[in-house]
Amino acid sequence: MKKTLIVLFALLALPALAIAAGGGTAPAASNANINDTASLQRGARLVMNHCVSCHSIEFMRYSRIGQDLGLSEEQVMRNLNFTGAKFGETVTVAMSGADGAQWFGKAPPDLSLTARARGVDWIYDYLKSFYWDEKAGIGWNNTRLPNASMPHVLWELQGVQRPVYSTGADGLTVVSGFVLSDADKARAKAYDEVARAIANFMQYVGEPVAVQRQSIGVWVLLFLAFFTFIAWLLKHEFWRDVH
């Protein structure tokens, strides 16, 4: 009985531990939708242009991206493939693990399962949580993942967020908000769609079959509804003479 209570307590504590590990508060809702093909296409372009120079997506093939996102082989190879890989190969990165460790402290991780491990909302919030930090060695920090070794590669799309500091209940100095210049405010608003598109694409990468599964699910429900109707008619016909 004691072991059972311990297990139940651990399960109940998991959400709180996940929040604590990811910045202390629940991430903002991304409203990502994997059925939005235009958003997935835009997310694919952004990821391939800004992320794959350092991160691989080794569980995903260029050919699968083209198939699921309605892109031809020519479109994929011209707009999404910058590593020289073949159409049927996986999305790898040209940078070696040794170079990544030398430049960033450790090799940048593969992104294939990030959405499944962290959640699509976490990715969306992480992309929006970079701020300029003069004390950081790379010049950038992140409230969702403090002291991350990743620079803000999308800063030209978002603008530069500068932190507003306050003293927390524990007496420590924390980032309580951001300020942007007037010129950056317009870019930051448009950047929401950038972050949403990237999060959406990474959600698709984590489970590509989800797009097909949802489409098939509609037909399955329609079949079950039709079968239920036929079964009801048969039951009515079989029992008509009994009554």
Q: What's the pLDDT score for residue 23? A: 53
Rounded to two decimals, what is the model's pTM? 0.78
For residues 94 and 180, the model is more confident at 180
Which of the four pLDDT bands, split at 50, 70 and 90, describes residue 126?
very high
Q: How many CB atoms lie within 10 A of CB 25?
A: 11
198 close to 125: Cβ distance less than 8 angstroms? no
Sequence-distant (6+) residues with CB within 8 A of 59 are 90, 110, 112, 113, 205
Q: How far is CA 131 from CA 93, 105, 148, 163, 194, in A?
A: 26, 20, 12, 6, 17
Classify residue 143 by its DSSP letter. Answer: S
Q: What is the mean pLDDT of residues 142-154?
A: 92
Cα 236 versus chain centre, distance: 50
Closest CA to 206 of 60, 69, 47, 70: 60
Sequence-distant (6+) residues with CB within 8 A of 49 are 82
Measured CA to CA, the distance from residue 88 to residue 85 in angstroms comes to 8
Which of the four pLDDT bands, split at 50, 70 and 90, describes residue 98?
confident
Q: What's the pLDDT score for residue 16? A: 41
Structure-derived torsion over alpha carbons of residues 143, 161, 139, 196, reported in degrees to the nearest 10? 60
Q: What's the pLDDT score for residue 24? A: 60
